[in-house]
Amino acid sequence: MRPRGILVLSLVALSLVAATAACGLNVNTALPFEVRPGSIRPVPELAGVEITVGSKDFTEQIILGYIAELALEAAGADAVDLTNISGSNSSRYALLDGQVDLQWEYTGTGWLSYLGQDKPIPEEKAQYDAVSRADLKQNGIVWLPYSAVNNTYAFATTESYAAEHDLRTNSDMTRFLAQNPDEAVFCVETEFASRPDGMPGVRRTYGFQVRTTKTFGTGAIYSAVAGGTCNFGEVFTTDGRIAGLNLRVLADDKKFFPQYNAAVTMRKEFLDQHPRIADVMAPVSAALNNKEIIELNKKVDVDGGDPSKVARDWMIAKGFIT
């Protein structure tokens, strides 16, 4: 067992580099943080247990991944960092294939993208219950209790543009673009442009015009909208750059976009071997909500903070670790 509280890679973890290379995954460098127990107390059953934590490749996911690693370290486990996996499908495969033992996922993504459903469920708990039942039955994936973090999609524009054209909802945008089709310039990420809960579906629901679609990496969309490269951009409702760049999120008044509550997901066989992981993660999940995660995201994407340090500072502030 490695020194308590320091997130370093064991020799076993280093061997994962070769195993994951074929899928484009890389075990990340260690976090030089000493993690001591706070309200999360050492769990004898988890002492020295190696748990690989994954995440997708955007800020919120990386922060959540580090939060999980810090919690597990405080409980006595040896956390291996496999955050920042490129793309939802790759991160999902890593979990199913056993390259990752634990990662945060979103209920809407699980229901629509992984389970192939075409109709989201509007209510948070009902959506969580449906995806957790189906994913366990079909794929052996357990969803731990969901958090209040609901990172769904939305369209945003600048506050000045919205005020000038009296835009508050997607229906307002649709009416405006019907009268001003040359203004229908959208910035979206590549995945959103084609996924069923993205651009194709929302266009069918609202019927708005699109003159030009520009694709960007997720992080570039916010500055592209703020800088006038496009008039409307796909955003995530918990992203800190919304406040930092003075953007206005348009309300999804027809309730098209699904619920995207964040929850810890694990393979049932791994959780059955180490059931106390659920106890460790429960209070952390309960402490998270949109207000908390927006501020954490802002500290990275607006203020330039390091995701691992932002996660550490939040865990300390909440008393989970010392």
The secondary structure of 213-250, three-state, reads EEEECHHHHHHHHHCCCCCEEEEECCCCHHHHCCEEEE
Distance CA 254, CA 244 (A): 27
17 band by pLDDT with thresholds 50, 70 and 90: very low
* pLDDT tens per residue, range 220-248: 999 999 999 999 999 989 989 898 899 99
- Residue 15: pLDDT above 80? no
Percent of the chain whose predicted confidence (pLDDT) is above 70: 90
- Residue 14: pLDDT above 50? no
Q: What is the pLDDT of residue 122?
A: 84
- Residue 12: pLDDT above 50? no
Q: What is the pLDDT of residue 65?
A: 97
* pLDDT tens per residue, range 147-200: 999 999 999 999 999 999 999 999 999 999 999 999 999 999 998 998 877 899
- Residue 287: pLDDT above 60? yes
- Residue 24: pLDDT above 80? no
* pLDDT tens per residue, range 118-131: 888 988 999 999 99
The secondary structure of 19-71, three-state, reads HHHCCCCCCCCCECCCCCECCCCCCHHHCCCEEEEEEECCHHHHHHHHHHHHH
Residues in the chain: 322
Helix (H) or strand (E) holding 311: helix 307-317
Domains of the chain, start order: 11-150+259-317 (3.40.190.10), 153-250 (3.40.190.120)
Give all strands of the β-sheet with 153-158 in edge-to-edge order: 212-216, 185-189, 232-236, 153-158, 247-250
27 band by pLDDT with thresholds 50, 70 and 90: low
Residue with tokens 């109709």: 119
CA pseudo-torsion sign 98, 54, 73, 285: negative
- Residue 29: pLDDT above 60? no
Q: How far is C-alpha 222 from the geometric centre of its chain's CA atoms?
A: 17
Distance CA 26, CA 10 (A): 14
Distance CA 124, CA 107 (A): 9
Q: Is 160 helix (H, G, I), strand (E, B) or coil?
A: helix
The H-assigned helical ranges of 81-206 are 88-96, 107-108, 124-139, 159-165, 170-179, 190-194, 199-206
Span 272-279, mean pLDDT?
98
Give the count of beta carbons closer than 10 Å to the beta carbon of residue 112: 22
- Residue 80: pLDDT above 60? yes
Q: Which of 2-16, 71-85, 267-281 has the lowest average pLDDT?
A: 2-16
Do 33 and 70 contact (CB within 8 A), yes or no? yes
